[in-house]
Every structure is written in structure tokens, then in C-alpha cells.
């Protein structure tokens, strides 16, 4: 399992560091919450196994999917060092999973064992928080795109760039993609069918093929 939080730290150093940090390990079943928005935050989470969704919910019970995380990803980092100490979003398991939680003060506080890689851990944490801020800015970009076709195009282009291929598997189910883009599920499906009929994309279940890359780029300009 690769985790950005421990990048640049070898296995021996990591073993010593984890003994110092003493993380709490917890297991969860499918559709179980690892954290609930608004509850007290009990640590920075690191997903060891499985897959989870990070979701924001409003007073009406409507939710927006912020991210889908896999083994090695972390969550709760944006609030771990804030004054609020509340979970900013809910984390819901998509399958059986396991995670451990690190008290924030053990990451930034003085290391009792003087672990040589503790400074690296703090540097990694700062990089992760910065990357998350950039990802949230990207989420705002989706919300500012007015047309549904533009939102779909932006999302597909992002997957194209991440996976390095014009043919890829969507990381979200269709209803989850609708929640992520903050659009209605039936409208999303209709628009994607229109884009397929016009030769912009092709798809079968969760597999997407971009047929006209330049046309998609023009839709979000």
C-alpha cells in the first residue's frame, strides 16, 4: 500500500514511527460510516483496505460526492489541524474496509523517540493539505460550469488525463457521478447518450471512450 503521508520513509523508519504514533485501527463493513459530518473528529484517517466515498450533506438530506478514495488515501486532513475539530464531511464505505486514525497532535508535536523521519512526515502532511486545497478548487470549477455538457466534458477530460488513455473506466457509478457533478441522474444519462449519438464519446456500462478530444475541450472553454 502506497501512502503519500509516509512517502520517502523506509520500512524500518516507518515501523519505529508507527510505534511512536500508535494509530487506532478500525474495521468497517460495506455501507458503514467511517465518520459522520459534524461529529467530533478523532484523528486523521488513512485507508488501509477497501474503498470509501467522501460526501457532503445539506440540511435537506441531499448529498454531493466530494471524492472516492482507495487504499493508501487519507481523509480528515483538512480539519485535523483546524480549531473546529469536527468532521467536515461523511466518509462511507463502498466495500468492507479497514482504516487507522492518527491523533493530529502526534503528527505535529515533539516526537518522544526523536524519530529521524518525523520531519519528513510533517512535510508530507503539508504537501497533502496543499494538494487537497487544489482538488477542492477543481471541485468548485465543476460547479461553476453552467452547462451539463460542459460539466460532463470536464469530468471525462480529468479522467483521461489521470489514466493517460482515451478509453478508461469511470471511477464512479452513474448515480454517483450525477451527485459528484450536482446534476440529476436521468438528465446526466440523456446528455451522455446525446454526446454518444453526436460522436463525441462512446460508452458501455462504466467504460468510456473519448472519440473527439478537441470537441470536449472546446465545450469547457
Per-domain residue ranges for the chain? 4-142, 145-219
CATH class held by domain 4-142: mainly beta
Mean pLDDT of the chain: 86
pLDDT tens-place string over residues 46-101? 999 999 999 987 766 777 888 889 999 999 888 887 777 888 889 999 999 999 99
Pairwise pLDDT comparison (115 vs 169), residue with the higher score: 169
CA distance 157 to 126: 28
For 132, the enclosing helix (H) or strand (E) is: helix 118-144
Which H helix or E strand runs over 180?
Answer: helix 174-181
Pair 195, 149: CB distance under 8 Å: yes
The sign of the CA dihedral 194, 143, 126, 40 is negative
Is the fold of 4-142 the same as that of 145-219? no
- Kindly report whether the global pTM for this prediction surpasses the value 0.85: no
Backbone angles phi, psi at 3, to 5 degrees: -135, 125
Quick one: pLDDT at residue 136?
A: 76
Q: Any idea which architecture 145-219 has in CATH?
A: Orthogonal Bundle (1.10)
List the beta bridge partners of residue 201.
210
Ranges of H-type helices in 42-117 = 77-80, 104-108
> Phi and psi for 203 in degrees, rounded to 5?
-155, 155
The H or E element spanning position 213 is helix 213-219
In the chain, % of residues over pLDDT 90: 39
Confidence band of 1 (pLDDT split at 50, 70, 90) = low
Helices and strands in the chain, H and E counts: 8, 11
Cell of 218: 472546446
Q: Which of 219, 65, 64 is nearest to 153 (CA)?
A: 219
CB-based contacts of 38: which residues, under 8 Å, 6+ apart? 86, 87
Q: How far is CA 39 from CA 28, 59, 63, in A?
A: 17, 15, 17
According to the per-residue pLDDT averaged within each range, which of 28-32, 108-112, 168-172 is highest?
Answer: 28-32
Amino acid at each position: 500500500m502506497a501512502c503519500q503521508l509516509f512517502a520517502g520513509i523506509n520500512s524500518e523508519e516507518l515501523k519505529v514511527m508507527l510505534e511512536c504514533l500508535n494509530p487506532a485501527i478500525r474495521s468497517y463493513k460495506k455501507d458503514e460510516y467511517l465518520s459522520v459530518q459534524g461529529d467530533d473528529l478523532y484523528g486523521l484517517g488513512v485507508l488501509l483496505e477497501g474503498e470509501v466515498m467522501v460526501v457532503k450533506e445539506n440540511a435537506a438530506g441531499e448529498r454531493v460526492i466530494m471524492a472516492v478514495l482507495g487504499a493508501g488515501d487519507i481523509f480528515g486532513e483538512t480539519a485535523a489541524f483546524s480549531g473546529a475539530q469536527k468532521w467536515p464531511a461523511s466518509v462511507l464505505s463502498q466495500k468492507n474496509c479497514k482504516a487507522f486514525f492518527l491523533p493530529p497532535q502526534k503528527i505535529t508535536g515533539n516526537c518522544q523517540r526523536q524519530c529521524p523521519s518525523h520531519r519528513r512526515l510533517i512535510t508530507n502532511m503539508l504537501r497533502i493539505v496543499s494538494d487537497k486545497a487544489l482538488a477542492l478548487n477543481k471541485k468548485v470549477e465543476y460547479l461553476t460550469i453552467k452547462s451539463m455538457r460542459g460539466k460532463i466534458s470536464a469530468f471525462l477530460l480529468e479522467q483521461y488525463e489521470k489514466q493517460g488513455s482515451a478509453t478508461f473506466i469511470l471511477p464512479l457509478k452513474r448515480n454517483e457521478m450525477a451527485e459528484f457533478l450536482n446534476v440529476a441522474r436521468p438528465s446526466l444519462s440523456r446528455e451522455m447518450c446525446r454526446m454518444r449519438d453526436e460522436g463525441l464519446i462512446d460508452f458501455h456500462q462504466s467504460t468510456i471512450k473519448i472519440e473527439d478530444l478537441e470537441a470536449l475541450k472546446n465545450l469547457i472553454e
